[in-house]
Amino acid sequence: MFISLSRKLAVAGLLMAAVSNVWALTPAAGAPQLTLYIPGSQSNDPAFGFMINGLTPTNALCLDDPTPSGAGTTAHVYFYTASTADKATNDNYSAIYCNTDDTKIPGLTGGTGAHHTTRLWISRRRLGASYVGLDAVANGTLLTYLKDPTAAVCSAFNGSYSSSGATYQWNYSCTTATAGIAATAATSDVTPDVFRGTDNVTPGKPEIDATTLDNKYALGGHIIGTPVTLKLRNALQYAQIQNGSLPASCTVGNESAACVPSLSKEILVSLFSGQIPDWSTFRVKVGGVEKTLPEVVADGVTAGVAGLSNPLDTAVHICRRENGAGQQVALLASVMQSPCLGESSPNLAQPGGFADVQYATSLGAVEKCLGDYNDGTNGWFGTSNPAPFPNPPATGVPHGNQWAISIQTTERNAGNTAKYRFIKINGALPTGEQVYLGHYPLVGEYAISWKNNVNGNQDSALNALVAYSSLPSTIASRNGTLSNHSWGQAGYIALSANGHAPPATWDPANPVTPFTRSLSGTPDACAVPVVNPDFGSVELR
């Protein structure tokens, strides 16, 4: 018995020693010397050093990049799992444990050696909308995180999690999240000044008073889209080919830039506010004859046009996000001008009106909601939402072949594998180029915010993160395959308000918009973007 136990201990020790030799910084290496708890939007996740498709696109703070094998690096990625090690994901809690020093974090103190080498634990929480993160910092709400490499009870496991066409690699699976932890800083899809008003605040929670956030920085522009179900895209495409809005050379199903259908900003406001509850509202003149959109589609179905089908009903179906979800907040501020116009601001439609309004409470839920309305599947129907948001309809509710619209990051569905497609707004594609030209309006300035109650090293780390994250080169490196659509490069764009000169004409290698919402020196999500006078040039196109 004793011998057996000794052997087991010896084997475990050898294994740990082996891991320690190859994996230079393990949980056993000691407690973190610098810890950042950062809840909120995933918009700036690559800058923390997380891996996407086996690589680290950008890395602001760690001395090394993590690797899928975990070997040859001092940086490792930790994911939370509610079951077995292989089931870990970054949906709720994740972290990076790495070494850093004052070459990465200017002003860093303590640690060891001439450069103050320090063990850094960055604990991220995606769970909840942008509002949840801001509420944690602005109002002091305590949340749950992976507390540290030891308390999180982690085991070495190299895994890869697949989500919406991308894979996310991790090196440790952790089973324990700890409640009651104060946030260091929060990331949000939009700057914190606009998280007020009914639609932008979680029901039951207070508004965000941005003036209480001592440090708030817009890091870059996040290009957000208004996806429609695939069959609705085809319907719009066919109707706009028929009435001459799209080139006659386009065919239904064509995914090229020239053939992407468009809706105007005013029409989007009408749809999302519930003022257009039926697709029959749209009239199309074809060959001098006025018809409704469903009638035009019916004609196409009769004519045997591939890709078209008559909808189950003509109601407008909306997969809206929960109150306070950052990308929806961006739509509200940039397109609906809500709550920016006060009592003149339109509100988002809610259940109980004329449109079919449903709550999809994550990026994945949006994808599934649109998929179910398109195909009649049950990826989202029959599931449940977190309180107080109403649940999706039951699986028994007839659905499928219905025309739905939503809000989604353009970092999804670049491969056109999901049953939805992005559309143009006012004829402009959701690309960096169209944002640069001032044509595409739906851009959220993603941000990081914190109070002055953080310690000196935390403050230094966050400032280093801001400086690195907002670099045009950092943002250009993020615009990879995840957001490279058949119609162009979407994703992110750098801000000239951060002191980066925009190119005189569009340059995807230096994606800086000449437009700014920070004329007064502070981010203002309600501001209509204007040409930044600090640089004084804009491409005329």
Partner 1 sequence: MKTVKRQGYQWAAAICVVASINTAQAAINNGGLAIQALGSGSAGEMFLNVWDQAAATSYSIDLGTTVESFLAGKQASTSWNLDQRFVDWASLTSDPLTFNVAGNNSYVGVNDADFGVLMSRRTGSSAPGGIAMTTLATWGNKVMARANALNINQDAQNGDASNTDFPLNLSEVTTNNISSYFNNTWGASMNIAGWVGSAVVRNGETPDQTVNFFFVHSPGGAVAGGTPAVFDKLGGFLSLDVANAKLNWTSTAAPVPVPGAVWLFLSGMLAVLRVQKRSGFSSAV
Cβ 310 to partner 1, closest distance in Å? 21
Query: Would you say 111 or 274 has its CB closer to partner 1?
Result: 274
Nearer to partner 1, 5 or 397 (CB): 397
- Joined tokens for residue 176: 């324990």
Q: Which member of 29, 68, 196, 376 binds partner 1 (CB under 8 A)?
A: 196
The count of other CB atoms within 10 Å of the CB of residue 248 is 8
Contact 515/530 with Cβ under 8 angstroms?
yes
Decide whether 204 or 288 has the Cβ nearer to partner 1. Answer: 204
For residues 385 and 319, what is the distance between their CA atoms, to the nearest angstrom? 13
**Please, which residues have CB within 8 angstroms of residue 343's CB and are 6 or more apart in sequence?**
none
Q: Contact between 351 and partner 1 (CB under 8 A)?
A: yes
Binding mask 354-393 for partner 1 (x = CB under 8 A): x----x----------------------------xxxx--
Q: Distance (Å, rounded) from C-alpha 76 to C-alpha 159?
A: 12
How far apart (Å, rounded) are the C-alpha atoms in residues 428 and 269?
A: 16
Which letter does DSSP use for residue 393 in this model? P
Least distance (Å) from partner 1 to the CB of residue 40? 20
DSSP-derived secondary structure for 56-72: -S--SS-SS---TT--S
* CA dist list (Å): 307 to 82, 148, 238, 304: 41, 52, 9, 9
Binding segment toward partner 1, per CB under 8 A, in 4-12, 229-237, 340-348, 367-375: 340-348
Interface map 80-119 toward partner 1 (x if CB under 8 A): ----------------------------------------
Q: Which is nearer to partner 1, 197 or 523 (CB)?
A: 197
- Interface mask (CB under 8 A) for partner 1, residues 219-258, using x and -? ----------------------------------------
Q: Which is nearer to partner 1, 280 or 378 (CB)?
A: 280
Rounded to the nearest 5°, which phi and psi values hold at 230? -55, -40
Q: How big is the site for partner 1, counted in residues (CB under 8 A)?
A: 33
- Site pattern 387..426 for partner 1 (x: CB under 8 A): -xxxx-----------------------------------
Other Cβ atoms within 10 Å of 1 Cβ, number: 5
Does 198 bind partner 1 (CB under 8 A)? Our answer is yes
| Shortest spacing between CB 274 and partner 1, in angstroms | 6
What is the smallest separation between the CB atom of 201 and partner 1, expressed in angstroms? 7
By CB under 8 A, name the one of 163, 350, 383, 463 that touches partner 1: 350
Looking at the Cβ atoms of 204 and 304, the one nearer to partner 1 is: 204
For residue 262, which of 287, 292, 282 has the smallest C-alpha distance?
282
Distance CA 308, CA 288 (A): 22
Interatomic CA distance for residues 530 and 403, integer angstroms: 35
- CB of 483 closer than 8 Å to CB of 496: no
DSSP 482: G
Residue 287 vs 352, nearer CB to partner 1: 352
Using the minimum distance from each CB to partner 1, give the nearer residue, 204 or 533.
204
Please identify which residue in 105, 134, 143, 201 interacts with partner 1, judged by CB under 8 A: 201
Residues 113-120: contacts with CB within 8 Å, 24+ apart? Answer: 117/63, 118/33, 118/34, 118/457, 119/25, 119/29, 119/30, 119/31, 119/32, 119/33, 119/34, 120/32, 120/33, 120/34, 120/35, 120/36, 120/61, 120/62, 120/96, 120/461
Q: Interface with partner 1 includes 313 (CB under 8 A)?
A: no
Strand partners, 213: none
- Rank residues 72 and 353 by Cβ distance to partner 1 and give the closer one: 353
> What is the C-alpha to C-alpha distance for residues 264 and 137, in angstroms, rounded to an integer?
37
- Piece of 74-82, 165-173, 353-361, 426-434 that binds partner 1 (CB under 8 A): 353-361
Applying the rule CB under 8 A, the residues between 259 and 298 that interact with partner 1 are 273-278
Smallest separation (angstroms) from partner 1 to the CB of 346 = 7
Distance of CA 468 to the CA centre of its chain: 19
- Chain residues binding partner 1 by CB under 8 A are 196-198, 201, 203-207, 209, 273-278, 323, 339, 343-344, 346-347, 349-354, 359, 388-391
